[in-house]
């Protein structure tokens, strides 16, 4: 406990005692019922995080009123029929020793993708809809605003009836309440528009309505301190708003940044670094006497430091608790190195939500599947051989070892992690590389033996007595038939990550995610970098909200990007590419080949027909880390 004394210290908010300073902030799960009720899956999911030691679990966005918007896909509390499902969630969280809060929303407003010409989106003013800027929102009438205020109070009363301990108000990321707060969205002339006080009135009346309907229950508010868009809210105005919220009776402020117009700040990927939103909490602490919660890419160390420095009173650990529900308990019991890192990829948590799929996790396949996935002892211990020590192979070995099998892992490289190890060399991918260290630590305590520097083929004696074989041989670089690609000035992207020397001027041939990330890494190091990509965009398979900071940082570091250009020839002085306006010459000291990869199918094909052989990961279909880890997990369960 000495290592994280501030994180693990108890505290009291609004008369309610919390067992530590760690709060799980709201995150969408899409695990509710089709009717919008809380489900058994959510009870299991939230209960697991409470069991792991977090003090307060805050549910996902929950609609208090559906009279003015189609809020399909959200959980809701606009009817008494919603109470039993939420009560089951509260019971699960309480049984695990935690407290439960519900985050209530008054609506999505211009952020709502679900509208029709007959029922257009609503907002504070006639703002363009975020998803379809050609559609203007219908400004809410004054009496409709007041009806929403009443609905928030009524929903809070239903939450209390279900056994909820706390109410959180969704006031950030440019949703409806934020559209009233923001001067860029609020052009009203009634009592809810104009001055900061008037624009905050909707929020303060909601706080007061909740306080009246749920007396004695703490109320928190999530506020985006800096919208990170031109004409948006700045820190000084956010401080004025926060003081008004405090005067209305608020018990705790959750401080973050961003809006849908600056989506990467809402769900900060690895490019934004550690503790990227801590300045927002620090600014709120300067003017408030109530507690403040910090969020945004916090590690155990940065969270402890923020509390110790007085920059925040609580920390919100969101995706970190998806990745490892035992985040708190592991710190409390001296197991910091056993905390499974969140790699900040947004791939299967936020990405699934935007795709309309239930929550998942790239590094924790059990997230959202608590009722159906668990690692149980095997009926019979067997000998399992895993060929390949990349993400899929390591996860398969971990799960098989936990089930009691004797596992041997073989890899021809001299390190664990496969291509993940060198590819995660940039500082901004530090958490991704730390996954390899995590696997190494987990395997060390299991009946798993790792053999590095060992090449395996179909006739290798190491396979002779294997009951089960997991083939996780990964992928190999793709080399198109381009003249000069075998020249001495050409280096494969993976070799660059492994330390190959490159010149001052570098052209990266291939603008997929690996090529674009490498270009950014080289530019940060001071190289003059050009990306040449045959498609009309770079990093096309990348989640759009992750791509925003990548593109921005490439521009900030002066990376030249040529899309719609196909490399036709490489020579000692650079390369030539065919573009829409004809040939283009790019002079460079080094050409980096980043044309993508192909599955390494050789071993799987050679073992075809042998019983007990499973191929997983990139050797089946090259994909992202999450797909490999989840496939490896299922392979480990199957053996």
Long-range contacts of 347-354 (CB under 8 A, 24+ apart): 347/543, 347/624, 347/625, 347/626, 348/626, 348/630, 349/27, 349/319, 349/322, 350/28, 350/267, 350/543, 350/545, 351/543, 352/30, 353/28, 353/29, 353/30, 354/543, 354/545
DSSP 173: B
Active-site residue list: 175
CA distance 73 to 148: 19
**Cα-based angle 58, 63, 67 (whole degrees, multiple of 5):** 170
CA distance 539 to 365: 25
CA distance 404 to 423: 32
DSSP 81: G
Q: Which phi and psi angles does 103 have, rounded to 5°?
A: -90, 115
CB atoms within 10 A of CB 197: 12
The number of residues making up the chain comes to 639
Q: Which residue has the tokens 């002892």?
A: 377
Q: Are 396 and 470 in contact (CB under 8 A)?
A: yes
CA distance 599 to 475: 4
CA distance 148 to 150: 5
């Amino acid at each position: 406990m000495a290592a994280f004394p501030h994180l693990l210290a108890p505290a009291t908010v609004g008369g309610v005692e919390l067992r530590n300073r760690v709060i799980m902030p709201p995150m969408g799960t899409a695990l509710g019922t089709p009717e919008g009720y809380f489900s058994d899956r959510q009870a299991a999911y939230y209960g697991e995080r409470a069991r792991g030691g977090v003090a307060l679990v805050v549910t996902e966005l929950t609609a208090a009123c559906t009279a003015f918007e189609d809020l399909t896909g959200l959980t809701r509390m606009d009817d008494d029929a919603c109470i039993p499902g939420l009560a089951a969630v509260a019971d699960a969280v309480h049984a695990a020793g935690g407290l439960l809060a519900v985050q209530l929303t008054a609506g999505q407003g211009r952020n709502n993708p679900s509208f029709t010409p007959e029922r257009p989106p609503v907002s504070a003013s006639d703002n363009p809809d975020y998803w379809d800027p050609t559609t203007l929102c219908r400004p809410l009438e004054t009496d409709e605003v007041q009806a929403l205020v009443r609905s928030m109070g009524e929903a809070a009363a239903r939450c209390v009836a279900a056994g909820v301990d706390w109410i959180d108000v969704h006031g950030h990321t440019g949703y409806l309440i934020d559209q009233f707060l923001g001067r860029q969205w609020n052009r009203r002339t009634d009592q809810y528009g104009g001055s900061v006080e008037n624009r905050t009135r909707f929020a303060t009346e909601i706080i007061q309505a909740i306080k009246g309907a749920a007396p004695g229950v703490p109320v928190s508010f999530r506020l985006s301190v800096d919208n990170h868009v031109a004409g948006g809210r700045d820190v000084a105005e956010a401080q004025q708003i926060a003081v008004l919220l405090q005067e209305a009776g608020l018990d705790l402020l959750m401080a973050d940044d961003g809006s849908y117009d600056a989506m990467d700040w809402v769900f900060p990927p690895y490019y934004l670094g550690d503790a990227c939103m801590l300045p927002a909490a620090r600014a709120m602490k300067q003017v408030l006497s109530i507690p403040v919660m910090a969020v945004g890419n916090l590690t155990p160390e940065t969270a402890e430091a923020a509390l110790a420095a007085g920059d925040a009173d609580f920390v919100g650990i969101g995706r970190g608790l998806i990745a490892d529900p035992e985040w708190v308990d592991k710190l409390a019991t001296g197991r910091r190195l056993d905390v499974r890192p969140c790699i900040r990829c947004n791939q299967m948590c936020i990405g699934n939500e935007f795709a309309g799929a239930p929550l998942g996790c790239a590094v924790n396949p059990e997230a959202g599947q608590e009722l159906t996935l668990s690692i149980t002892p095997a009926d019979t211990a067997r000998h399992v051989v895993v060929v390949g020590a990349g993400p899929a192979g390591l996860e398969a070995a971990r799960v098989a070892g936990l089930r009691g099998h004797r596992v041997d892992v073989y890899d021809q490289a001299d390190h664990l992690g496969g291509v993940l190890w060198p590819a995660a060399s940039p500082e901004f991918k530090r958490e991704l590389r730390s996954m390899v260290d995590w696997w190494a630590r987990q395997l060390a305590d299991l009946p798993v033996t790792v053999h590095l520097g060992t090449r395996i083929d179909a006739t290798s004696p190491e396979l002779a007595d294997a009951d089960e074989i997991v083939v996780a041989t990964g992928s190999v670089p793709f080399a198109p038939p381009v003249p000069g690609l075998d020249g001495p000035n050409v280096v494969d992207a993976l070799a660059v990550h492994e330390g190959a020397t490159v010149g001052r001027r570098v052209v990266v041939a291939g603008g997929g995610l690996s090529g674009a990330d490498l270009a950014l890494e080289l530019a940060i190091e001071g190289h003059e970098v050009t990306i040449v990509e045959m498609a009309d965009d770079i990093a096309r398979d990348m989640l759009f909200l992750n791509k925003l900071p990548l593109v921005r940082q490439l521009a900030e570091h002066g990376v030249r990007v040529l899309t719609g250009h196909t490399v036709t020839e490489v020579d000692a002085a650079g390369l030539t590419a065919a573009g829409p306006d004809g040939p283009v010459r790019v002079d460079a000291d080094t050409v980096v080949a980043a044309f993508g990869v192909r599955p390494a199918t050789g071993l799987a094909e050679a073992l075809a027909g042998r019983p007990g052989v499973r191929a997983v990961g990139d050797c089946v279909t090259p994909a992202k880390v999450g797909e490999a880890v989840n496939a490896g997990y299922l392979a480990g369960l199957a053996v």
